[in-house]
Amino acid sequence: MTINNPQEKAQCHLDTRKDVKETSPFVQIKKGAIITTSLDVAEKFGKRHDLVLRTIRNLDCSHDFSLLNFAERNYIDDRGKKQPMYEITRDGFSFLAMGFTGKKAAGWREKYITAFNAMEHVLLNQSNLAFQELRRSGKVIRIEATDTIKDFVEYATAQGSSNAKHYYANITKATNKALSLVKQTSGNHFRDMLDNMQLLSYLQTAEFIACNALKEGMTAGLDYKDIYQLCKKRIEAFASTVRPSLVINS
């Protein structure tokens, strides 16, 4: 079986050597989902592929379940002809494999479960690494934003503001409010409570936008009050397009 775009996929226990092929289910990560294929299922369970296709199409499951767990695709066979196949999720495999009986089939079900578990571990590690990298980059952005706000406080003070120091809290509050994030009162640091990569990405982008607005306003020599309003408007305009659904309530 030929697998295209290997850089986008992670394979579990896949080896083309004959001595390994018989004991290794093909399970991969594709676009964030863990799947196997009807071709591999047919091969491992010793069934004709056309019969596996027919079984999938006749499964006694809902239409929605079928759409979510069995994706029809095409592949090129040994004769160079395009043929149908299915990409199958873990749930889809479990539903399909229930109809395969016998000791040998039970052995293959166990091997597939092991392979899916291994891929879930890989996917979790990838997500954790990506999230940690996002948090590290966020610290850099936060440092820059803090330095910029400090410059803005000095700028506002020089223009006659007697409460310029409050802009540290005001700008952070405007950013959090625009993204529907409310600081909890449990005593934990707000940023440490973010466990959603998308939310953290939104917050970082909002801080970057706020930072640039402050810099632009100061460079143009605008009144500090106008700069603050410019900063708020830019943040709100961004948030209106990507407002996240998850809200952290106080």
Q: Domain ranges in the chain? A: 9-100, 129-242
Token pair for 122: 């890989």
Interval 44-78: pLDDT, tens: 999 999 999 999 999 999 998 999 899 999 999 99
Cα–Cα distances in angstroms (integers) from residue 102 to residues 95, 108, 109, in the given order: 16, 10, 11
| Closest residue by Cα to residue 209 from 229, 232, 191 | 232
Note the pLDDT of residue 130.
Answer: 62
Interval 207-232: pLDDT, tens: 888 888 899 999 999 999 999 999 88
Interval 103-124: pLDDT, tens: 999 999 998 988 888 888 777 6
Asked if residue 11 has pLDDT above 70, the reply is no
Note the pLDDT of residue 244.
Answer: 44
The residue with greater pLDDT, 247 or 177, is: 177
Note the pLDDT of residue 209.
Answer: 84
Asked if residue 188 has pLDDT above 80, the reply is no
Token pair for 195: 């466990």
73 - beta bridge partners? 85
Note the pLDDT of residue 139.
Answer: 72
Helix axes 167-178, 103-158, angle to 10 degrees: 140
Is the entire prediction scored with pTM above 0.85?
no
Note the pLDDT of residue 33.
Answer: 82
Per-residue pLDDT band at 176 (split at 50, 70, 90):
confident
For 38, counting Cβ atoms within 10 Å of its Cβ (0-12 exposed, 13-18 middle, 19+ buried), the class is: buried
| Closest residue by Cα to residue 235 from 127, 145, 160 | 145
Note the pLDDT of residue 84.
Answer: 96
* DSSP H helices in 159-242: 167-178, 197-220, 224-242
Interval 12-31: pLDDT, tens: 443 333 443 456 888 888 87
Q: How far apart (Å, rounded) are the C-alpha atoms in residues 21 and 43?
A: 10
Token pair for 155: 């700028």
Q: How far apart (Å, rounded) are the C-alpha atoms in residues 174 and 172?
A: 5
Q: Determine the average pLDDT of the residues in 164-178.
A: 82
Note the pLDDT of residue 190.
Answer: 43
Per-residue pLDDT band at 126 (split at 50, 70, 90):
low
